[in-house]
Amino acid sequence: MTLRNKAVFLDRDGVLNHEIGTYVWEPAKFVVMEGVAESLARLKAAGYLLIVVTNQAGIARGLYSAADVQACHAKLQQAVGGLIDALYYAPGHPSVSESLRRKPDSLMLEQARARFRLDVAQCWLVGDRPRDIAAGHKVGVRGILVGPDEATGYQPHVADLRAATGLILAAG
């Protein structure tokens, strides 16, 4: 069977919602960034599946629960009109447990690749940390780093999801 589907994998904190310097698990503090809904709508209209892949180590550390993460994801889906096709999260933390789901490992992406029969050559990953990009590279997915920290030297590196969306759509 031929793999034909294409997707954009999206890190959550710092890409879709504001990074607040600590774990984001309370819906009241979960604020979707400006331009996210419009960017996701443009990607969806271009035929991309939208898949969130996020590390949520606070679960393993006992700071919050899976239900808290799901409440934030429900708020995200509401803010973007239900455009996200799947939301994967890795609950592990290196000090508590090992997990191949946790980025920079790639199990979340591999699970989505199998579930949606993705052609990784047509997929992208947008993240705000080098570990996000590393997870994508492990499965052959191109990455775009977003955010203000240009010290990584990684290219392409753009300001936000709006700019990343422009790059993805221009590349075809």
What pTM was computed for the model? Answer: 0.93
pLDDT score of 1: 47
Concatenated DSSP letters of 9-65: EE-SBTTTB---SS----GGG--BPTTHHHHHHHHHHTTEEEEEEEE-TTTTTTSS-
CA distances to 89, 93, 124, 127 from 119, in Å: 21, 30, 10, 19
Cβ atoms within 10 Å, residue 171:
11
Q: 132 catalytic, yes or no?
A: no
Q: Which of the following is catalytic: 11, 105, 132, 160?
A: 11
Q: Which of the following is catalytic: 13, 68, 105, 132?
A: 13
Residue type at 153 in one-letter notation: G
5-51 pLDDT, tens digit per residue, is 999 999 999 999 999 888 999 999 999 999 999 999 999 999 999 99
Mean pLDDT value across residues 125-154: 90
Q: 85 catalytic, yes or no?
A: no
56-113 pLDDT, tens digit per residue, is 998 988 899 999 999 999 999 999 999 999 999 998 766 656 677 889 999 999 999 9
What residues contact 59, with CB distance under 8 A and at least 6 apart? 65, 66, 69, 91, 92
Q: What domains are defined for the chain?
A: 6-171 (3.40.50.1000)
**pLDDT tier, 150 (very low <50, low <70, confident <90, very high otherwise):** low
